[in-house]
């Protein structure tokens, strides 16, 4: 087991607090759940342009954060997987989050925060299959 | 306009939080999911911090407005979807938020992951729309809809 340093823990807690704060701001200003898979999908859902403007602005903020981080703290980016793995993994994440109605943020943060049984179950399931996948990759001798 | 600025600001803070938290590093995600190997518990603190803040803030906010609430039951789409998502997360190391933020890095894996993720989402939503328009779905089966997140 890796023992995280105090700095690692503080950064994780602080980053998590910002995520919780942002989700709260989105809930307060728009009454919407800041689950990224749901927000992303709502960009393409039927509806008028005004309905899509809010999720579009939120997604724009995420990309803006990516640009800011790229300039100010490029070390926060780690290396991604190989191209084939990225394509397969991305497709699974896309299909799975829509079928299961949520992801790490929608179920893991927002859903658990409101005590939703569905979200608690979903979070336990995706962490379990994620762990099983990492275990399988290790058994196959592929580093994840 | 102010509403859009608020949404943009929320996305910005959310994305910076993901970066600070270490969620943009697939290797760190793999370490968190490596329960049976060299387990790195750090990302557990991200979820703890986010839930602590959001659960508290939510309590204050909801005395004012009542948002969509998912009261649905645990069903097979939820279980299968979460299972498939977990496999993809363990394989690629990105969940949807980090996948969106990481597009700004303009690296091939991040862009490929995002493109495939978006295609997977649209494919599933299209499939659902077709399924919905064909036979009548039992009432309630789709009621929880997008309210989960």
Please list every residue in chain A whose beta carbon sits closer than 8 Å to the beta carbon of residue B38. 1-2
Check: CB of residue A67 under 8 Å from CB of residue B17: no
Q: Is residue B143 part of a domain?
A: no
The Cβ-side half-sphere exposure at A122, using a 13 Å CA radius, reads: 36
Does the pLDDT value for residue B65 go beyond 70?
no
Supply the range of the domain harboring residue A133. 15-139
CB pairs A-B closer than 8 Å: 526
Asked if the Cβ–Cβ distance from B96 to A119 is below 8 Å, we say no
Structural domain contains residue A96: yes
CB contacts of A73 in chain B (<8 Å) are: 19
CA–CA separation, B149 vs B146, rounded Å?
6
The parent domain of residue B114 ranges over: 2-67+75-136
Is the pLDDT confidence value at A133 over 80?
A: yes
Q: Write down the pLDDT at residue A129.
A: 98
Classify residue A69: in a domain, yes or no: yes
Q: Which of B45, B82, B103 sits opposite A100 (nearest CB)?
A: B82
DSSP track, chain B: -HHHHHHHHHHHHHHHHHHHHTTT-HHHHHHHH-TTSS--THHHHHHHHHHHHHHHHHHHHTTT-------PPP-HHHHHHHHHHHHHHHHHS--HHHHHHHGGGT-HHHHHHHHHHHHHHHHHHHHHHHHHHSSPPPTTTTTTGGGG-
Partners of residue B52 in chain A, C-beta under 8 Å: 16-17, 20
What whole-number distance in Å separates Cα of residue A80 and Cα of residue B124? 25
What was the pLDDT predicted at B30? 96
Indicate whether B142 pLDDT > 60. no
Domain count, chain B: 1
Nearest neighbour of B77 by CB, restricted to A28, A99, A116: A99
User: Among A10-14, A20-24, A61-65, B124-128, which stretch is predicted with the lowest mean pLDDT?
Assistant: B124-128
Phi, psi of A140 (to 5 degrees): -80, -5
**pLDDT category, A142, cuts 50, 70, 90?**
confident
Q: Residues A24-49: what's their mean pLDDT?
A: 92
Whether B92 sits inside 8 A of A90 (CB atoms) is: yes
Number of folded domains in chain A? Answer: 1
Higher pLDDT, B134 or B35: B35
Residue B102 placed within a domain: yes
User: How far is it, in rounded angstroms, from Cα B85 to Cα A44?
Assistant: 20
């Amino acid at each position: 087991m890796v023992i995280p340093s105090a700095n690692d823990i503080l950064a994780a807690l602080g980053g998590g607090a910002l995520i919780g704060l942002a989700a709260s701001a989105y809930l307060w200003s728009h009454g919407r759940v800041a689950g990224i898979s749901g927000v992303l999908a709502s960009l393409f859902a039927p509806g008028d342009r005004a309905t899509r403007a809010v999720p579009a602005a939120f997604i724009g903020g995420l990309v803006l954060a990516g640009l800011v981080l790229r300039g100010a703290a490029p070390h926060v980016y780690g290396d991604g997987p190989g191209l084939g793995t990225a394509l397969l993994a991305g497709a699974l994440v896309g299909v799975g989050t829509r079928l299961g109605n949520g992801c790490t943020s929608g179920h893991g943060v927002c859903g658990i925060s409101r005590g939703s049984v569905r979200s608690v179950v979903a979070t336990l399931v995706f962490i379990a299959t994620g762990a099983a996948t990492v275990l399988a990759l290790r058994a196959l001798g592929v580093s994840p | 306009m102010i509403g859009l600025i608020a949404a943009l600001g929320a996305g910005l803070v959310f994305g910076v939080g993901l970066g600070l938290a270490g969620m943009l590093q697939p290797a760190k995600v793999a370490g968190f999911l490596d329960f049976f190997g060299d387990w790195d518990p750090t990302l557990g603190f991200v979820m703890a911090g986010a839930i602590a803040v959001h659960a508290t803030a939510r309590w204050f906010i909801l005395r004012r407005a009542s948002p969509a609430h998912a009261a649905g039951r645990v069903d097979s789409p939820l279980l299968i979807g979460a299972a498939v998502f977990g496999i993809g997360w363990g394989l690629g190391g990105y969940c949807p938020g980090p996948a969106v933020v990481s597009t700004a890095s303009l690296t091939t894996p991040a862009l490929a992951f995002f493109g495939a993720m978006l295609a997977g989402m649209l494919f599933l939503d299209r499939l659902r729309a077709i399924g919905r328009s064909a036979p009548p779905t039992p009432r309630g089966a789709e009621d929880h809809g997008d309210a989960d997140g």
